[in-house]
Amino acid sequence: MKSETKLQNEIRCALSRYGVVVRMNSGLFLTPDGRPIRNGIPGIPDLLFIGPGGVVVWIEVKTDTGQLRKDQENFIAMLQKRGHRTGVVKSVEDALRIVKEALHVEV
């Protein structure tokens, strides 16, 4: 099974043909001397797609066995409540389908 990072990179490359793709880093990182640094917003989706005409799609990437954490579920629900397009994807094809639907491009 491929890693989530590898899958994210494949998705970023595929979606870049249709618009801008931003990796939304979030988490806990350690400095070289071991100090913890928290970065980003807990639960924010992995990728932000920005297409022509201002089309925006938030994409959470998971491996075949990956599960959403509660903070991710909450963040996605908040985005949807405010009218944003979101999707949880497990493949490049899933991501392309969601973005093409948002762009009204034939799948």
Percent of the chain with pLDDT over 90: 91
Domain spanning 4-103, CATH architecture = 3-Layer(aba) Sandwich (3.40)
Whole-model pTM over 0.95: no
* Cα distances (angstroms) measured from residue 33 to each of 4, 25, 39: 27, 21, 17
Q: 42-69, pLDDT tens digit by residue?
A: 999 999 999 999 999 999 999 999 999 9
Pair of tokens at residue 85: 């397009």
